[in-house]
Amino acid sequence: MRTFLTFAVCSTLAASSPADVHSARTISQAADSTTIVFLGTGTPRPDPTAMGPATAVVVGRRTFLFDAGVGVTRQFTAAKLPPASIAAVFFTHLHSDHTLGYPDLIFTTWTFGRRTPLQVYGPHGLSAMTNAIYEAWKADIEVRTTGLEHAYPNGYRVNVHEIQPGVVYDSGGVRITAIPVLHGSWNEAFGYRIDTPDRSIVISGDTRPAQSIETAARGADVLIHEVHPESAGSTPPPANNPDWAKYLREFHTSDVELGKLAAAAQPKTLILYHFGAHGVADFAVTATIRAQGYRGRVIVAKDLDRW
């Protein structure tokens, strides 16, 4: 059953300053209540109905963001989530489709009032990426801070935490554990388990079938997992790529494989995202998953769904 966040939208949305707009929306949600908001469920394919991977876990008035694909700040607005609610950002890995919205997240939240560093967690290499973003937008930073916009000095800054597997965040009743996963030739890629006062949620990130995810998802309330139809491996490869089937096997999880994983772990609900359908209907993929013995509920996430 879908649950929906309730928002109180203040009349100050028409306020004259960006900072007023930034803080205008508030979440009227119980302090220990958890809602998942799918800001982006897509793949690298430029589908206007599915933005880049980005999943918000909202606990009371705090938002925990997992990945920042293209369109992430626009989706915050569409979902009526205040950017000021972001407690921390977690990257599963550094593929472009999961990070294209990172500069947007850095600079748009700053432009609209952020004064303190974003707390960002992810694989090694994230610090270098962040410093490269600062350098790429050096002129923008200079103009905004010394010109007529009077942006808060250093408000664009990010506090990067390059992580190892294990508990990476534990505060205010929210514990987030980084789970090592297997995403092809990436040296580091993570899924995450989020334990809140009322829910346990596992996010796979991009991975081939991983025992670590199966273990973390055993008995969890929600498993959010990437998937593609097994038939995609036998379709004509894109751009004449002779390694397409091998790529899918090593980097991603098929519906057959996910069904077996879910049958072993038996999370209460399985939600599919980063859904590489390749023209296969949603019901065909969910039927394949169920055929492997999974007894819980299967849902195909769409952008801006809340659960």
Map out the domains of the chain as residue ranges: 7-300
Q: Quick one: which of 113, 12, 7 has its CA closest to 63?
A: 7
Q: How confident is the model at residue 242 (pLDDT cuts 50, 70, 90)?
A: confident
List 160's β-bridge partners, or say none.
Answer: 120
Q: Which of 173-182, 196-205, 239-248 has the lowest mean pLDDT?
A: 239-248
Q: How confident is the model at residue 32 (pLDDT cuts 50, 70, 90)?
A: confident
Q: What is the pLDDT of residues 265-300, one digit of tens each?
A: 999 999 999 987 766 788 899 999 999 999 999 999
Say if residue 60 is exposed, middle or buried (CB neighbours under 10 Å; 0-12, 13-18, 19+).
Answer: buried
Of all residues in the chain, the percent with pLDDT exceeding 70 is 88
Q: What is the pLDDT of residues 94-146, one digit of tens each?
A: 999 999 999 999 999 999 999 999 999 999 999 999 999 999 999 999 999 99
> Mean pLDDT across the stretch 10-31?
39
CA angle 177, 180, 186 (to 5 degrees): 135
> Mean pLDDT across the stretch 232-240?
65
E strand or H helix at 160: strand 158-162
Q: Which of 85-99, 163-177, 205-219, 241-255 has the lowest mean pLDDT?
A: 241-255
The alpha-helical segments, DSSP class H, found in the chain are: 18-22, 72-78, 96-99, 102-111, 126-136, 138-146, 211-217, 244-251, 255-265, 282-291
Q: What is the pLDDT of residues 6-19, one digit of tens each?
A: 333 332 222 223 33
Q: Which of 50-64, 93-107, 153-167, 278-292 has the lowest mean pLDDT?
A: 278-292
CATH, domain 7-300, list 3.60.15.10, 2.40.50.1020, 3.40.47.10, 1.10.10.10: 3.60.15.10
Q: What is the CA radius of gyration of the chain?
A: 19
List 171's β-bridge partners, or say none.
Answer: 174
- Residue 3 in this model has a pLDDT that exceeds 80: no
Say if residue 211 is exposed, middle or buried (CB neighbours under 10 Å; 0-12, 13-18, 19+).
Answer: exposed
Of all residues in the chain, the percent with pLDDT exceeding 90 is 80
Question: Tokens at residue 125, please?
Answer: 């290499």
Any long-range contacts for 290-293 (C-beta under 8 Å, 24+ apart)? 290/259, 291/259, 292/256, 292/259, 292/260, 292/262, 292/263, 293/259, 293/260, 293/263
- 25 vs 252, more confident: 252
| Helix, strand, coil fractions of the chain, as percent rounded to 5 | 30, 25, 40
